[in-house]
Structure 1
Amino acid sequence: MSNQKISIVAKILAKEGKREFVKNELIKLSGLSKSDEGCINYDLHQDNENPKLFVVYENWENKDALQKHASSKHFVNYIELTKEAVEEFIVHEMTTIA
């Protein structure tokens, strides 16, 4: 088990006409994820110029905590519910270097 903090920057682009649905599901996911063991923060953002674009900035105590989150019922449920409503879902896993 690595004890190094892991940061996630996730970019979610909703399909045309699906913005509010994706936004509502992301808000639900955010609320539940903040309670996950090892979650330091889970911040959901919506782009001011393109309201179909959402960015999630997350910090996890370690890789194990992130993996538990990724297999949690609420995360798996979010993926299943929104798979037809999301045009793009890009996740960047990062480590602090300075």
Structure 2
Amino acid sequence: MDQLIIVARIEAFPEHAEFVKQELLKLVEPSRQDPGSVQYQLHQDNSNPALFFFYEVWENEVLFQEHMQTTHLNNYIAVTEGKIKDFSMNELAVIS
């Protein structure tokens, strides 16, 4: 099975940007320890401090789906409810 690449885009409401940033940072280390995590990086947009991106590489889809059910991810979802303006996630394949 091929690796799965994920790019997640998270835009916080401006007044909640710092709170969301701190909560996203809390996800990094536990997620890096999740089975199947190859790479897990958080990025912040240079011109919009409320815009964040995760670049993730997972061994496979099954292990990524297990990550999506973890306590740390569910806690993040709960505490940031109402603070996220927009969210999107893309699954990518390496073509070159």
Aligned identity (percent) is 43
Give aligned pairs, total.
Answer: 96
Cα distance in 2, alignment partners of residues 83 and 10 from structure 1:
17
1:89 Cα deviation from its structure 2 partner: 0.9
Name the structure 2 match of 1:84: 82
Name the structure 2 match of 1:71: 69
1:10 Cα deviation from its structure 2 partner: 0.4
Cα distance in 1, alignment partners of residues 25 and 94 from structure 2:
26
- TM-score, normalised via structure 1 length: 0.94
- TM-score, normalised via structure 2 length: 0.96
Unaligned runs of 5+ residues in structure 2 are: none
Cα distance in 2, alignment partners of residues 15 and 33 from structure 1:
24
Unaligned runs of 5+ residues in structure 1 are: none
Cα distance in 2, alignment partners of residues 26 and 66 from structure 1:
17
